[in-house]
């Protein structure tokens, strides 16, 4: 079954009333008719309306969304699953929430950056307009500010890795205020800095917040060896790291080497996290989709889902990153490899996610 | 019984069958790759239109005791129910819109305003009927196990009554289909466990209860109450119970009036008016359900039972290839010619041939691919079964009447499709082969 939005927080009296009226509309729900007036009124799933689309850089926009029901809240740094039809097909993507929880207008925002080969980001950056209705799924993610807030903070980001950090900065700015924070951000040019104007404004208003913009076009991305120069006391700081996988890998290795542990390093693994060591990838295998009667093959890096779709099967899918369990199917035979961890697993009869597992030898799956 | 009519299937070589299979596959894949916003807009608009029609109909029927409102409301509700069952329910549950990955418009979650549970119907229709189409002894939709619709079926005195129960079936089609889903043969032979039968009956009872409560209790009650309230207001005014003055004064007046009678009279009049509305809304809803059933019956019986269609023995289709499957669908189904509006309100089942070739293709695409299907028919000298509604329904009814009695002769079959002119009529078709 395809993924739905989160259950909204609806007053109990309203749910009782709707339930009492069901007999008049069965097999549809009173909600199905209320939606004719306003699609945001659905109590079946949380939806939101795009209120504004603000251009941040030439390829990133901030999408401001007004949730249909009271926003259940999020911790700064978390991400949200957002679903919308693009050319007729419903897609779900996870985006970091870039707004802070205290926003007085009750809106939330996400800031997608254009991925030319993608489906959803080109739609949001180029096509979507005010008034578009989107589905809002679960809020997830452990990349959040600790409570209580540590006195000394270091944020390291690159490119669109800024997005979860922006929510953190906004939240601190609106709430307790900064005591001592340093932000090292890499982007290609000044014009490519997402939230550039707001970050610079934050820097000017707050003596306790220092921003360093590193332009990779000129001086390359911030590397571990730059840390002593740009932020000499980095070892004493609670650090929040978000950016491309190779930067994450280099920084974590540096922390391990210099400090012996990652206790004070928080990393946003936004991309499905493929193991660090080489050689974890399997050799793949063949996949038999029993229900669709389709045979497919994977080289070991291609997930079962993608292989099946290429072979022409229509398969359920949602997040494509192992979160939503929309794509699950019953494993009838064979072993599979989790592409995130490299772990080989799979019991006959187990429900497995096709989006993050590749076959390890021949497998049969009931999809 | 041996096959009485040689079908064109027998003269195609294995290579031709394989090539035909590839050509039909190509049409399917091309359309699938093309599906997009335009298609989504169609089905979401259709669903919205159905819901708007329902709202309009229910509002009109509040005043169902007035004849014009009754007629307009009943017509609107019938149309809404027809759209809901055919263009929306049937097609969504076929998985025609599953490609949208929409959690609500999906074959796994859809439910419809019909006596069959989606689960039972998807099994008997999507799986049994669409897989074994027109294979005698396997396709349980061939005469629905209660009618002799094909010459090969052995006659039985019960069939003498089939012209009569054919009419009953038309009016209560959804209940017939729901009962058919139970598969009495499987129950008799013990193939289906008692627990399974109980579970299915419970599902059916649930569907029946919700339709009865909705159409024969809840909505009539609402229209009854609404009209009683209107009557009460009018009566109290007419009987001079409401005049200017303070609330306290009015209450004194009303209390006095209760003792004297006018309020009792007003209440009695309101009660009577309410009851009248209750009954007329019940009748309107009943009529709408019958109209929907008769329409669905008519369209669906034209799908496989007109004279043009072929049936197949199990031997004929043993070791069937994909190409052979396509040919069987092509020969076993018949189209109905009609305007675009006709096709919408018949759930695009007037494109029965295209629907049977590609059951999971969005219904709106059938009209678009029809010329390509005809072109394949022309090239391989295969028939393309189609005809006006009156002719298709007429031949079906003729067969039901004739086969109620023993015997019967094979009906002439259309010859190969020869392009979009009038030569595709029965004349020129191969003569039927007499029974051995």
Same domain, yes or no: A43 and A80: yes
CATH of the domain at A292: 3.10.20.30
Nearest-neighbour CA in chain A from B37: distance (Å): 4
With contact defined as beta carbons under 8 Å apart, do A113 and A157 qualify?
Answer: no
pLDDT at B424: 44
Per the CB < 8 A criterion, the answer to whether B403 and B149 are in contact is yes
Pairwise CB contact (< 8 Å): A27 & B210: yes
User: Higher pLDDT residue, B240 or B125?
Assistant: B125
Q: Which of A45, A88, A314 sits opposite B39 (nearest CB)?
A: A88
Enclosing H/E stretch for B10 = none
Domain for residue B306, yes or no? Answer: yes
Using an 8 Å Cβ cutoff, are A135 and A47 in contact?
A: yes
Report DSSP letters for B37-86, one per residue.
HHHHHHHHHHHHHHHHHHHHHHHHGGGTTSHHHHHHHHHHHHHHHHHIII
For residue B36, the chain A residues in CB contact (below 8 A) are: 87-89
* Residue A5 in domain: no
Strands A329-338 and A351-352: antiparallel
3-class secondary structure, A65: strand
For residues A121 and A45, membership in a common domain is answered with yes
Please tell me the distance from the alpha carbon of residue B187 to that of residue B201, in angstroms, as a whole number.
12
**Is the preceding omega at residue A27 within 30 degrees of 0, hence cis?**
yes
B45 close to A (CB below 8 A): no
CA–CA distance, B247 with B251 (Å, rounded to integer):
6
- The answer to whether the CB of A231 falls within 8 A of the CB of A251 is no
Indicate yes or no: CB of A26 within 8 angstroms of CB of B214. yes
Flag whether B282 is in a domain: no
Mutate to test the interface with B, among A4, A22, A26, A36 (most CBs of B within 10 A): A26
Q: What is the DSSP string of A163-196?
A: HHHHHHHHHHHHTT--SEEEEEEEESSGGG-TTH
Q: Looking at chain A, which residue has its C-alpha nearest residue B37?
A: A88
Residue B35 sits in which domain range?
Answer: 8-190+294-423
Q: pLDDT tens digits, residue range A316-334?
A: 887 677 766 678 888 888 9
Q: Is residue A184 part of a domain?
A: yes
The answer to whether residue B128 is domain-embedded is yes
Residues A290 and A318 in one domain: yes
From chain A, the residues in CB contact with B111 under 8 A are 27
* Residues A189, A187: Cα–Cα separation, whole Å: 6
Average pLDDT of chain B to the nearest whole number: 90
Q: Is the pLDDT of residue A236 over 70?
A: yes
Residue B348 confidence (pLDDT): 97
Q: Domain for residue A45, yes or no?
A: yes
Region A98-106: mean pLDDT is: 93
B321 touches chain A (CB under 8 A): no
Cis peptide before B163 (omega within 30 of 0): no
Closest CB to B101 among A2, A24, A25: A2
Structure tokens at B166: 């054919």
Asked if A18 and A107 sit in the same domain, the reply is yes
pLDDT on residue A341: 72
Structure-token pair, residue B396: 């079906």
For residue A91, the chain B residues in CB contact (below 8 A) are: 101
CA of B227 to nearest chain A CA: how many angstroms apart?
18
Output the CA–CA distances (angstroms, integers) from residue B258 to A148, A324, B267, in the order listed: 72, 65, 10
Q: What is the pLDDT of residue A344?
A: 86
Res A333: pLDDT: 87
- Percentage of residues in chain A having pLDDT higher than 70: 95
Share of chain B above pLDDT 90, in %: 69
Same domain, A26 and A108: yes
Domain count, chain B: 1
Task: Point out the residue among A28, A87, A312 whose CB comes nearest to the CB of B37.
Answer: A87
Residue B434 lies in a domain: no
In a domain, A7, yes or no: no
CB contact under 8 A, B101 and A89: yes
pLDDT of residue B436: 30
> Does A221 map to a domain?
yes
Residue where a domain stops, chosen among A92, A116, A140: A140
Q: Do A194 and A259 fall into the same domain?
A: yes
| Pairwise CB contact (< 8 Å): B219 & A25 | no
* Banded model confidence at residue B91, pLDDT cuts 50, 70, 90: very high
Residue B305 pLDDT class (50, 70, 90 cuts)? very high
Q: Cα–Cα distance between A323 and A7 in angstroms, integer?
A: 17
Q: pLDDT tens digits, residue range A178-208?
A: 999 999 999 999 999 999 999 999 999 999 9
Residue A273: is its pLDDT beyond 80?
no
Q: If pLDDT is split at 50, 70 and 90, which confidence band does A292 have?
A: confident
d(CA B306, CA B294): 17
Q: Name beta bridge partners: A47.
A: A135
Q: From the CA of A210, how many Å to the nearest CA of chain B?
A: 46
Q: Is residue B262 part of a domain?
A: no
Residue percentage of chain B with pLDDT more than 70 = 91
Question: For B89, which DSSP code?
Answer: I
Number of domains chain A contains: 3
With contacts defined as CB-CB under 8 Å, which chain B residues touch A2? 101-103, 106
CA distance A98 to chain B (A): 27
B55 to A90: CB separation less than 8 angstroms, yes or no:
no
pLDDT > 90? residue B375? yes
What does the buried/exposed string (b/e) look like for A325-335 if buried means 16 or more CB atoms within 10 Å of the residue's CB? ebbbbebeebb
- Answer whether residue A272 is part of any domain: no
The verdict on A121 and A27 lying in the same domain is: yes
List of chain B residues whose C-beta atoms are within 8 Å of the C-beta of residue A316: 101
Clarify whether residues A180 and A101 are in a common domain: no
Q: Which residues of B touch A292 (CB under 8 A)?
A: none
Search chain B and give the residue with CA nearest A311.
B29
In a domain, A3, yes or no: no
Q: Retrieve residue B98's tokens.
A: 């599953």
Higher pLDDT, A46 or B248: A46
Residues near A6 by Cβ (< 8 Å), separated by ≥ 6? A45, A46, A72, A136, A137, A138, A139
Residues A157, A133 within the same domain: no
- Mean pLDDT computed over B55-63: 97
Residue A289: give the domain boundaries: 285-366
Q: How far apart are CA B346 and CA B292, in angstroms?
A: 10
pLDDT of B184 reads 83
- Asked if the structure places residue A87 within a domain, the reply is yes
Residues A129 and A16 in one domain: yes
Q: CATH no. for residue A99?
A: 2.40.30.10
Kind of pairing between the strands at A357-366 and A329-338 = antiparallel
pTM comes to 0.85
**pLDDT given for residue A291 in this prediction:** 87
**pLDDT range class, residue A301, cuts 50, 70, 90:** confident
């Amino acid at each position: 079954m395809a993924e739905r939005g989160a259950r909204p927080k609806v007053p109990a009296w309203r749910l009782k009333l709707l339930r009492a009226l069901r007999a008049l509309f069965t097999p549809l729900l009173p909600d199905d008719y209320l939606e004719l007036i306003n699609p945001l009124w659905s109590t079946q799933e949380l939806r939101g309306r795009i209120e504004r689309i603000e251009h941040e850089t030439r390829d990133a926009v901030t999408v401001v969304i007004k949730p249909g029901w009271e926003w259940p809240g999020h911790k700064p740094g978390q991400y949200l699953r957002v679903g919308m039809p693009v050319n007729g097909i419903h897609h779900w993507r996870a985006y970091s929430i870039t707004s802070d929880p205290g926003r007085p207008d009750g809106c939330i925002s996400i800031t997608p950056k254009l991925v030319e080969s993608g489906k959803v980001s080109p739609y949001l950056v180029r096509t979507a307009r005010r008034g578009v209705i989107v589905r809002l799924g679960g809020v997830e993610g452990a990349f959040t500010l600790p409570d209580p807030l540590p006195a000394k903070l270091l944020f390291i980001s690159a490119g669109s890795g800024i997005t979860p950090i922006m929510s953190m900065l906004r939240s601190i700015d609106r709430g307790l205020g900064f005591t001592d924070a340093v932000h090292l951000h890499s982007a290609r040019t000044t014009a490519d800095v997402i939230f550039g104007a707001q970050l610079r404004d934050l820097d000017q208003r707050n003596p306790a917040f220092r921003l360093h913009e590193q332009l990779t076009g000129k001086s390359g991305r911030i590397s571990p060896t730059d840390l002593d120069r740009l932020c000499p006391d980095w070892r004493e700081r609670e650090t929040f790291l978000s950016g491309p996988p190779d930067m994450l890998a280099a920084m974590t290795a540096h922390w391990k080497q210099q400090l012996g542990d990652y206790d004070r390093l928080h990393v946003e693994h936004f991309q499905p996290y493929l193991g660090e060591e080489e050689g974890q990838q399997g050799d793949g295998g063949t996949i038999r989709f029993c229900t669709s009667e389709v045979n497919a093959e994977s080289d070991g890096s291609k997930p079962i889902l993608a292989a099946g779709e290429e072979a022409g099967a229509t398969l359920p899918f949602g997040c494509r990153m192992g979160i939503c369990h929309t794509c699950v199917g019953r494993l009838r035979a064979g072993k599979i490899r989790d592409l995130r961890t490299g772990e080989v697993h799979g019991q006959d009869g187990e429900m497995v996610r096709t989006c993050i597992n590749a076959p390890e030898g021949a497998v049969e799956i009931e999809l | 019984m041996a096959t009485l009519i040689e079908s064109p299937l027998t003269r195609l070589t294995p290579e031709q069958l394989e090539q035909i299979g590839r050509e039909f596959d190509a049409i399917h894949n091309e359309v699938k790759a093309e599906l997009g916003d335009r298609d989504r807009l169609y089905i979401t608009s259709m669903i919205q239109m159905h819901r708007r029609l329902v709202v309009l109909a229910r509002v009109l029927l509040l005043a169902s005791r007035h004849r014009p409102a009754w007629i307009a409301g009943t017509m609107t509700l019938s149309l809404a129910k027809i759209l809901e069952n055919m263009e929306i329910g049937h097609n969504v549950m076929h998985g025609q819109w599953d490609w949208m990955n929409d959690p609500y418009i999906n074959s796994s979650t859809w439910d419809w305003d019909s006596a069959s549970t989606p689960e039972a119907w998807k099994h008997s229709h999507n799986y049994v009927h669409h897989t074994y189409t027109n294979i005698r002894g396997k396709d349980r939709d061939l005469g629905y196990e209660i009618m002799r619709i094909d010459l090969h079926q052995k006659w039985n005195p019960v069939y003498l009554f089939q012209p009569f129960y054919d009419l009953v079936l038309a009016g209560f089609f959804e209940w017939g289909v729901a009962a058919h889903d139970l598969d009495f043969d499987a129950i008799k032979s013990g193939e289906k466990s008692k627990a399974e039968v109980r579970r299915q009956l419970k599902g059916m009872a649930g569907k029946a209860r919700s339709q009865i409560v909705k159409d024969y209790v809840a909505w009539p009650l609402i229209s009854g109450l609404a009209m009683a309230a209107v009557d009460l207001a009018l009566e109290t005014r007419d009987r001079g119970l409401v005049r200017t003055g303070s609330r306290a004064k009015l209450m004194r007046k009303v209390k006095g009036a209760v003792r004297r009678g006018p309020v009792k009279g007003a209440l009695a009049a309101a009660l009577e008016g309410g009851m009248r509305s209750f009954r007329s809304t019940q009748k309107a809803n009943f009529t709408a359900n019958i109209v929907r059933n008769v329409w669905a019956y008519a369209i669906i019986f034209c799908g496989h039972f007109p004279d043009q269609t072929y049936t197949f023995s199990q031997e004929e289709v043993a070791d069937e290839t994909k190409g052979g499957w396509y040919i069987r669908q092509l020969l076993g189904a018949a189209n109905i010619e009609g305007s675009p509006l006709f096709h919408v309100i018949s759930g695009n089942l007037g494109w029965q041939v295209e629907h049977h070739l590609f059951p999971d293709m969005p219904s709106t695409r059938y009209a678009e691919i029809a010329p390509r299907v005809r072109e394949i028919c022309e090239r391989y000298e295969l028939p393309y079964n189609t005809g006006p509604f009156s002719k298709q329904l007429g031949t079906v009814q003729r067969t039901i009447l004739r086969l109620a009695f023993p015997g019967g002769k094979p009906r002439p079959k259309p010859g190969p499709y020869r392009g979009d002119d009038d030569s595709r009529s029965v004349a020129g078709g191969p003569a039927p082969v007499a029974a051995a």
